[in-house]
Amino acid sequence: MSTKKVNKIGVLTSGGDAPGMNAAVRAVVRTGIYHGLDVFGIMRGYSGMVDDDIFPMDSRSVANIIQRGGTILKTARCKEFFEPEGRKKAYENLKKRGIDGLVIIGGDGSFRGAQRFSNEYDIPCIGLPGTIDKDIAGSDFTIGFDTAVNTAVEAIDKIRDTMDAHDRLFLVEVMGRDAGYIALHSGIATGAENILIPETKTDIEELIQSLTEKEKRKKLVNLIVVAEGDEFGGANELAKVIKERIPQADTRVCILGHIQRGGSPSCLDRLIASNMGYHAVECLIKGRFNVMVGIVNNKVHFTPLDKAVKQKQRISAEWMKIVKILAS
Ligand code: ADP
């Protein structure tokens, strides 16, 4: 714990956007104002710090945003922040306004930036896990995951209706370049026969064999949920392999894409974003610096930023077993 007093804080959203980021911004601003702090919004992630796109926020500036997807502060990937000169510029822009604490809502990349920045300059940073991928260790939930996975479930349910009507083989690709959580959760929730994720190696021979057997019985109705980062390179690539090996299969591919990022945040995402946003400011007030605020076993949990960027949330082997048993 530090005894340094924080008086002026900045809040930004960075990296990939996620539904619920607005709810987190709202909570940070209103908790900050409750404690008598000056709160500044920083536009487009670290770009706003480097380019001096920073503005004072009040309670009204976050009115009517809790239900909105995207982020009113916009988000971006900022190349300059990787360089010491970019971070120096960012620091100078904060310093001239007296901003002495930051809340960063983003993924592990954004936390890496925050960790570097807080090591170099005397500006404490608090990270809030905002990512649809749920790939951050130190929290059972990340802001945006619940909404994204529910969007995927709704879409896949609709696909299953038409798939069943035609006796087709459907490959649905969901987001997740490095993490299979959206695929795993949406696949289990929609009763997918197969779920392919980056964390586990796909046994293609086993898959082809099971599809071939179904085809022989004229029962090739099969839903495969594929994470975009699976080692096959996504649903289109996998479809090519299946087409080659089972040419008679009536195969269709659907890539859900960016619809998974948008939309009004779910109740759960609004709740965790509000809770985390509140605790981020409490951390700055109490001198608990350079941590990520997470939720573990229903309790608020603080992970040092340097630890949070080193660990990934793992998918348990038991989940994969459950997938197999339930789909058989
Ligand atoms: P996410 O936060 O969603 O994982 P990125 O990995 O794209 O997204 O990171 C967002 C931004 O965080 C980057 O564009 C960059 O400005 C900053 N950042 C990421 N890694 C570093 C790093 N090692 N050093 C400095 N800044 C970084």
> Do 239 and 292 share a structural domain?
no
Please give the mean pLDDT across all residues of the chain: 95
Q: How many CB atoms lie within 10 A of CB 70?
A: 18
Q: Say whether both 69 and 95 belong to one domain.
A: yes
Which pLDDT does position 215 carry in this prediction? 84
Relative to the CA of 106, which ligand 1 atom is closest?
2
* Global pTM value: 0.96
Q: Domain for residue 315, yes or no?
A: no
**Same structural domain for residues 158 and 236?**
yes
In a domain, 170, yes or no: yes
Are residue 36 and residue 114 in the same domain, yes or no? yes
How many angstroms does the Cα of residue 206 sit away from the middle of ligand 1?
38
Best probe residue, ligand 1, of 51, 80, 104, 112 (max atoms within 8 Å of C-beta): 112
Does some domain include residue 326? no
Q: Tens digits of per-residue pLDDT, 27-54?
A: 999 999 999 999 999 999 999 999 999 9
Phi, psi of 183 (to 5 degrees): -65, -45
Q: How many domains does the chain have?
A: 2
291 contacts 128 by C-beta, under 8 angstroms: no
**238 and 270: one domain?**
no
Asked, for residue 37, whether it belongs to a domain, the answer is yes
Nearest alpha carbon to residue 267 among 147, 172, 97:
147
Whether 270 has a pLDDT exceeding 80, the answer reads yes
Q: Round to whole Å and give the CA distance between 8 and 97.
A: 8
314 domain-assigned: no
CA distances from 71 to 223, 264, 291, 294 (A): 33, 11, 22, 20
One domain for residues 257 and 275: no
Query: How far apart are the two ends of the chain, measured CA to CA in Å?
Result: 52
DSSP 8-state code for residue 97: T
Give 36-48 as a DSSP string: T-EEEEESTTHHH
pLDDT tens digits, residue range 209-246?
A: 999 998 888 777 899 999 999 998 899 999 999 999 99
Shared-domain flag, residues 180 and 299: no
- Measured in Å, residue 76 CA sits from the centre of ligand 1 at 9
Residues 36 and 93 in one domain: yes
**Ligand 1 binding pocket includes 117 (Cβ within 6 Å):** no
86 within some domain: yes
Ligand 1 centre distance from Cα of residue 214 (Å): 45
Same domain membership, residue 89 and residue 12 = yes
The verdict on 302 and 247 lying in the same domain is no
- Is residue 188's pLDDT more than 80? yes
45/165 same-domain check: no
In a domain, 81, yes or no: yes
**Please, which pLDDT band fits residue 328 given cuts at 50, 70 and 90?**
confident
Q: Which two tokens stand for residue 142?
A: 């990340």
pLDDT class for 281, splitting at 50, 70, 90? very high
The mean pLDDT value for 118-134 works out to: 96
Task: Report residue 54 as tokens.
Answer: 């920073």
- Distance, in Å, from the CA atom of 119 to the CA atom of 290, rounded to the nearest integer, reads 9
User: E strand or H helix at 54, and its extent?
Assistant: strand 54-57
From the list 101, 91, 181, the residue with the least C-alpha distance to 145 is 181
Q: State in Å: Cα 82 to ligand 1 middle.
A: 8
**How much is the average pLDDT of 246-265?**
95
CATH value at residue 202: 3.40.50.460
Instruction: Give yes or no: residues 290 and 207 share one domain.
Output: no
Residue 118 belongs to domain with CATH number: 3.40.50.450
Beta bridge partners, 196, equal 226
Atom of ligand 1 nearest to the CA of 82: 25
- List 100, 133, 135, 146, catalytic entry: 133
224: domain range?
Answer: 147-261
Is 321 within a domain? no
Residue that the structure tokens 């909570």 belong to: 27
**Is there a catalytic annotation at residue 58?**
no
Tell whether ligand 1 has an atom less than 6 A from the beta carbon of residue 82. Answer: yes
Tell me what pLDDT residue 28 has.
Answer: 98
Rounded to whole angstroms, what are the CA distances from 153 to 108, 145, 146, 178, 295? 25, 12, 10, 20, 24
